Structure 1
């Protein structure tokens, strides 16, 4: 054991390998050296001067301290205290620790030679290639290349800036790990997390706690976020919220994807979206905003260029109730016209020489100027028809242009007289590119011929060659226009704002569900864009509003000022309307159905193209009297208090009216659909879908509501339902007593005796109550029969 202990002691001793000078002090048991070289374990330490305490196995070094450990670590400082027993080097003042490609700088550093761990607590910085990292406290592990940072951590890269409370960074892999509130700010976006990882080189990221991604007005939340910064791609898992505050759009779901370049978000698994409107709904006696909620298997939202969308115009009513579209604004607005004019003026000013100052001219000079003007106009017609490059390619044209260019006085005078009547007439007569016509006009017009003859004589041969060399009419003009556009300054053609304007679009796929307090719908797919504020339903859409159900191939609902404005059903349109206290189905069908809303409620409707209808009229006591079945080119429907108040046939009507008492069966138009069981009744049903019945359950909802008979009107409603909905089944299953057949007449007689019969419960005379009690067994039996014949419940709209 003794040799082993001695060997261990020798290994921990600090060895003085070399020194220029040395001295010792017996009292302090210290040795003083100049430019010593110490060795301990696998490290070599040098400095300008040092004091060695051999018994304590420590030394203190001053100035130009340098520690070399292996072939990877170099540490520099102005001062060092080293303990060979603990193997800890305490370095102060201008400390630099270099580990291959990483450099750590600080004022105070404790470095353990054994574990190769460096620690600073008064601020430090690590620089690794393009990454700069600073913090108050830091711990660097040389073996694993991991660095732990605490308090005021800041990481700066060319693509991002990271601020954190607690972080671990690996200088070899470039991965950062976060254990506290952290922000990663990129170019225009920001990622927040309280637990995650980010690679400063590849820009991959994962976040697992309180995550939030923001980009301008858009944000994305999720329990887990994955992000690829270079690809601009993000993925979110569980409890996803994608929000855009600019247009008040919020997407929810359990799995989502975000594409930065396309500004597109895709959400699946319980996906739904909320859109704010200006409609209000009363909740707990308070008015709250009435949002539109949409759910589907998959939801996609994106910012797209407005010019790429096919927008839908709002229908409006014109004279004689004719439908039309809103008048489109003039695309050439005053601002655009003004901008184009200014641009043309600017281009002209740049191309033309400065105007000569006005001065009094003699008669001879005025005549010369008139000739020059006409000559200049003729030349202008010819030269404007050709681009400079294409004209120079024509044989003889080069010499003509050079000759004209020399006569600068003539051209300046011609330019100053550009507004004479003769020149205007010539310019109107000659189209760009038509040199032959210009030549013939010049020869036929004696005035112009005389004034232009002197100039054209010199270039007549060249002009004839140019005329024969010209392409067909219009071809050169198009080429010239394109060349001129290329040569014009950038500001001469004002940009169209619609080319850069972006707008929000929403797409929904499969099992689409929509809920709003005054509108509900289902469909296979949906498209919405804020550019025209129109919801478009496709794939067997069904829409409910008030007591009406709309079906067709395609349904459009338009919002105006964030309120319901119009509804259109395209192809195979079918509307079914049921009053709140009745089971009579008012029906309308046609090729196109157009409805208008007022204050959130349907006000009127137009049915066009082979319009058919079945409508039940009621008297002032709301008792059904007649059924009208009509066919016409057009039908107009008026609504009042959420019910049909009148139905008007327009253009070649044909029809028949039958008293309700004579009806033997319920009348249905071809294509009749009534599916209230699919109607979303709440935001919850939009998110989760309709609740499915439990397997093996035999309990069904009653078709006819069990109404406690309190007044004559309620009793009559029940009897009408029992008689009209399933008369054949009732005859087989229920033997109605004689009192039932005469019940209606008894009620009428009671009404005559009591014209002001109250409707409130408990206020009806005892005679009506007793009749209702007598009928209750009959009503229960009728209810059980109707369950079998009409399984779809008739819910109160």
Structure 2
């Protein structure tokens, strides 16, 4: 027991000695005048003129000071400077506690300079620790390192960790971007900025928003989590998570993702979206859905819902042929094919495409290099619009000749009201606003429902339909053309007319043939209804496929997408923030050089 007591006594003495060794006193190095003043049982020294004090590795310089050596504290006044291992601090008034190494610097502009990281901090009241090499402000301040600037109400700077943390009314600025938010951490070694709260980032390409944002200035990346959104003016992307690598020109979005055009008429919903700037390529490969509002539809707007497994969209530079602008002329059917009266014809394959170019050039035409857009939808392609539905394996959009091509094994299908079209390949041609014509190539069959069990049918090697305002107006069939038409008298079926000829043209109104013109010796056979077999009532290979036809948008919309407007509140929030931040952004940009001049270090030596 006695031995244990001796050990404890020596241990206590050793701890006391160590504590005493750690106690660093404030030393008086220089002063022009020193006046002792008795305050109770303590003597306080008033130092005047070129005062120099030392506490550990820190040296303080000022005009005058009050030093309490018993309490190991001092107050410094006038042109106060502190030099420690890495930090330089300058201000007007200093209150310093040598026991803790903590100080409080006041002044019109208190300045801290990190000589290692070449970082600066400005405030009118700064709390610091010479022991921990840290500083903080609570009444507003700013931090700058090279091209990075931080402004906030509250701030904390850790020189050892090379970390700056700011909060409340936070503003981040660099040469390439500005950010506004609730709190920001700046990792100096990595040149990395992390933001929390409702953060807005503005740069030359637009605006980004999210609840957690990371800006890597070295690698030029931007990561946004939680209610993420990016707006570049032409398009907006809303997602749960978004990552952009500006150096590689690559952007990726996950979660509930939607890409929206500036008017909101075109939207691409998906759970995974990628975009590459060069080449200009976008890929949506997780249950994507294209939402397209057709404002040209009559009598009211209509919406197309297009579903696929993967969508790839890209742009290329291509040479376009342009000719002098001509008035828009009504397309017509001629014996030579689908064309335009008193207009030119641009031929693709054996098909003359109707189009009028808006570009005015010198007589004789010219060629220009333009950006052309393409898109390819692959796997489980299905679409629904009030007046149009389709099923295919592949959909290819070619912006050069304004066509959309459908492919499917064994056949792609399209439906419109009571009509169905099928062929080995289906190609649609777009006019200025809407689908202008459609071609069914290879084993083509078009059918229009006559009653619940009967269908008027037309088939051949090639079937061309001309549309006006998305409504079928004329049909031309070529190559072993066949027709089955159910003849009625006052609604009663009187016969089934089967016609075979090289080609024919049918005029259509409300998906019903009105006039039919046959060419080159048609062969017609009228079959009485009672003697007609099932084979007499349909063309070879025809089946009405109502089983695979999308009947509503609910047949198209993926299960993950339960709210088309999930992004709207975020869109409005971004607009509100844009208006709120705009004055500050404009003011900061106008300050420009003036702001940099005010931030130049001149006092913390």
TM-score (norm 2): 0.78
Residue of structure 2 equivalent to 1:179: 196
Which structure: greater strand fraction? 2
In the aligned structure 1, how far is the partner of 2:472 from the partner of 2:143?
A: 68
Q: Report if aligned partners of 1:60, 1:82 keep a CA contact under 8 Å in 2.
A: yes
Farther off after superposition, 26-35 or 524-533? 524-533
Q: Report if aligned partners of 1:11, 1:41 keep a CA contact under 8 Å in 2.
A: no
Aligned pairs for 1:109-120 (under 5 A) are 109-120=126-137
Match of 2:58 among 14, 35, 43: 43
Residue of structure 2 equivalent to 1:548: 419
| Alignment gaps of 5+ in structure 2 | 1-11, 346-354, 560-605
Residue of structure 1 equivalent to 2:83: 68
Residue of structure 1 equivalent to 2:225: 208
Residue of structure 2 equivalent to 1:682: 552
Residue of structure 1 equivalent to 2:94: 80
Q: Report if aligned partners of 1:265, 1:301 keep a CA contact under 8 Å in 2.
A: yes
Q: Report if aligned partners of 1:52, 1:60 keep a CA contact under 8 Å in 2.
A: yes
In the aligned structure 2, how far is the partner of 1:276 from the partner of 1:665?
A: 42
Q: CA deviation at 1:640?
A: 3.8
Residue of structure 2 equivalent to 1:410: none
Q: CA deviation at 1:302?
A: 3.8
Q: CA deviation at 1:82?
A: 0.5
Larger Rg computed on CA atoms: 1
| Residue correspondences, number | 523
Q: Report if aligned partners of 2:320, 2:368 keep a CA contact under 8 Å in 1.
A: no
Q: CA deviation at 1:52?
A: 0.3
Structure 1 residues 508-553: Cα deviation after superposition (integer angstroms, max 9, x where no partner): 1222112111111111221335676543223332111122211113
Partner SS, residue 602 of structure 1: strand
Relative to structure 1, the CA distance from residue 41 to residue 685 in structure 2 (aligned partners, 3 Å threshold; closer, same or farther) is: farther
Residue of structure 2 equivalent to 1:234: 251
Aligned pairs for 1:338-349 (under 5 A) are none
Residue of structure 1 equivalent to 2:439: 568
Q: Report if aligned partners of 1:315, 1:566 keep a CA contact under 8 Å in 2.
A: no
Partner SS, residue 628 of structure 1: strand
Q: Report if aligned partners of 1:278, 1:561 keep a CA contact under 8 Å in 2.
A: no
In the aligned structure 2, how far is the partner of 1:598 from the partner of 1:305?
A: 31
1:301 corresponds to 2:172: no
RMSD across aligned C-alpha pairs, in angstroms?
3.3
1:619 corresponds to 2:489: yes
Relative to structure 1, the CA distance from residue 608 to residue 20 in structure 2 (aligned partners, 3 Å threshold; closer, same or farther) is: same
Relative to structure 1, the CA distance from residue 504 to residue 684 in structure 2 (aligned partners, 3 Å threshold; closer, same or farther) is: farther
In the aligned structure 2, how far is the partner of 1:551 from the partner of 1:330?
A: 29
Q: CA deviation at 1:563?
A: 3.8
In the aligned structure 2, how far is the partner of 1:292 from the partner of 1:583?
A: 29
1:11 corresponds to 2:25: no
Residue of structure 2 equivalent to 1:289: 301
In the aligned structure 1, how far is the partner of 2:225 from the partner of 2:515?
A: 61
Relative to structure 1, the CA distance from residue 559 to residue 246 in structure 2 (aligned partners, 3 Å threshold; closer, same or farther) is: farther
Q: Report if aligned partners of 2:26, 2:72 keep a CA contact under 8 Å in 1.
A: no
Q: CA deviation at 1:4?
A: 4.0
Match of 2:478 among 587, 603, 608: 608
Aligned pairs for 1:395-544 (under 5 A) are 498-500=368-370, 502=371, 504-528=373-397, 534-539=403-408, 540-544=411-415
Partner SS, residue 550 of structure 1: strand
Partner SS, residue 8 of structure 1: helix
Residue of structure 2 equivalent to 1:383: none
Residue of structure 2 equivalent to 1:250: 267
Q: Report if aligned partners of 1:314, 1:566 keep a CA contact under 8 Å in 2.
A: no
1:658 corresponds to 2:527: yes
Q: CA deviation at 1:186?
A: 2.6
1:32 corresponds to 2:49: no
In the aligned structure 2, how far is the partner of 1:333 from the partner of 1:58?
A: 82
Q: Report if aligned partners of 1:597, 1:604 keep a CA contact under 8 Å in 2.
A: yes
Partner SS, residue 197 of structure 2: coil
Partner SS, residue 575 of structure 1: strand
Q: CA deviation at 1:2?
A: 6.1
Q: CA deviation at 1:122?
A: 3.2
Farther off after superposition, 150-159 or 526-535? 526-535
Structure 1 residues 119-149: Cα deviation after superposition (integer angstroms, max 9, x where no partner): 1133323222332323332111222222111
Structure 1 residues 760-783: Cα deviation after superposition (integer angstroms, max 9, x where no partner): xxxxxxxxxxxxxxxxxxxxxxxx
In the aligned structure 2, how far is the partner of 1:63 from the partner of 1:567?
A: 86
1:557 corresponds to 2:574: no
Q: CA deviation at 1:308?
A: 6.4
Q: CA deviation at 1:191?
A: 1.7
Relative to structure 1, the CA distance from residue 333 to residue 301 in structure 2 (aligned partners, 3 Å threshold; closer, same or farther) is: closer
Q: CA deviation at 1:298?
A: 1.1
Which structure: greater helix fraction? 1
Residue of structure 2 equivalent to 1:96: 111
Structure 1 residues 588-635: Cα deviation after superposition (integer angstroms, max 9, x where no partner): 211221122345432331111211122222221x23222222210112
In the aligned structure 1, how far is the partner of 2:262 from the partner of 2:359?
A: 30
Structure 1 residues 432-459: Cα deviation after superposition (integer angstroms, max 9, x where no partner): xxxxxxxxxxxxxxxxxxxxxxxxxxxx
Relative to structure 1, the CA distance from residue 497 to residue 190 in structure 2 (aligned partners, 3 Å threshold; closer, same or farther) is: farther
Residue of structure 2 equivalent to 1:53: 68
Partner SS, residue 126 of structure 2: strand
Q: CA deviation at 1:288?
A: 5.2
Relative to structure 1, the CA distance from residue 609 to residue 3 in structure 2 (aligned partners, 3 Å threshold; closer, same or farther) is: closer
Partner SS, residue 555 of structure 2: helix
Relative to structure 1, the CA distance from residue 267 to residue 679 in structure 2 (aligned partners, 3 Å threshold; closer, same or farther) is: same
In the aligned structure 2, how far is the partner of 1:170 from the partner of 1:555?
A: 57
Q: Report if aligned partners of 2:458, 2:482 keep a CA contact under 8 Å in 1.
A: yes
Relative to structure 1, the CA distance from residue 309 to residue 150 in structure 2 (aligned partners, 3 Å threshold; closer, same or farther) is: farther
Relative to structure 1, the CA distance from residue 658 to residue 333 in structure 2 (aligned partners, 3 Å threshold; closer, same or farther) is: closer
Relative to structure 1, the CA distance from residue 332 to residue 566 in structure 2 (aligned partners, 3 Å threshold; closer, same or farther) is: closer
TM-score (norm 1): 0.60
In the aligned structure 2, how far is the partner of 1:332 from the partner of 1:550?
A: 32
Partner SS, residue 676 of structure 1: coil
Partner SS, residue 677 of structure 1: coil
Q: CA deviation at 1:110?
A: 0.6
